[in-house]
Amino acid sequence: MSDDKQYRKTRHTVGRATVHLVWIPKRRKRVLIGKVKTRLSAILSDVAKEKGWVILALEIAPDHVHLLVEYDPIVAINQVVKAFKGRSSRLLRQEFPELLKLPTLWTHAYFYDTTEKVSSATITDYINDPHHY
């Protein structure tokens, strides 16, 4: 461990868990624009802060979300996804009635990849590259 600042320390553990997540709106509708996009970003930040997670990179394209998050490794990845997608779906559909036209805001599916094979910096660069527009 060359740089202790990048590791989370608890009473019994020292380590770092990061995951790259991608998910899409139902029917891949291009609804993540304007005020919806701004509000989604705030909701995701609030969830991360509340859970003690760190968003390392975030890109919200009109039809998908990329998120690189450092999370507590005692939490399962599906619970990380559930926290972000569940809260954002509920709040966005309450605040933006036009989203109620979709049967659900998000599909049930999502992509995840732990960042062991590729460095977090590489994934951050990919997410921050404006190639998705």
Locate the domains of the chain by residue range.
16-128
* 68 within 8 A of 123, measured Cβ to Cβ: yes
Report the alpha-carbon distance of residue 43 to residue 32 in Å, rounded: 13
**67-95 pLDDT per residue, tens:** 999 998 889 999 999 999 999 999 999 99
Q: Does the predicted TM-score (pTM) go above 0.75?
A: yes
* 76 within 8 A of 8, measured Cβ to Cβ: no
Is 126 one of the annotated active-site residues of the chain? yes
Catalytic residue (choose from 71, 110, 126, 133): 126
Does the pLDDT at position 22 exceed 60? yes
Domain 16-128: assigned CATH number: 3.30.70.1290
Does the pLDDT at position 54 exceed 50? yes
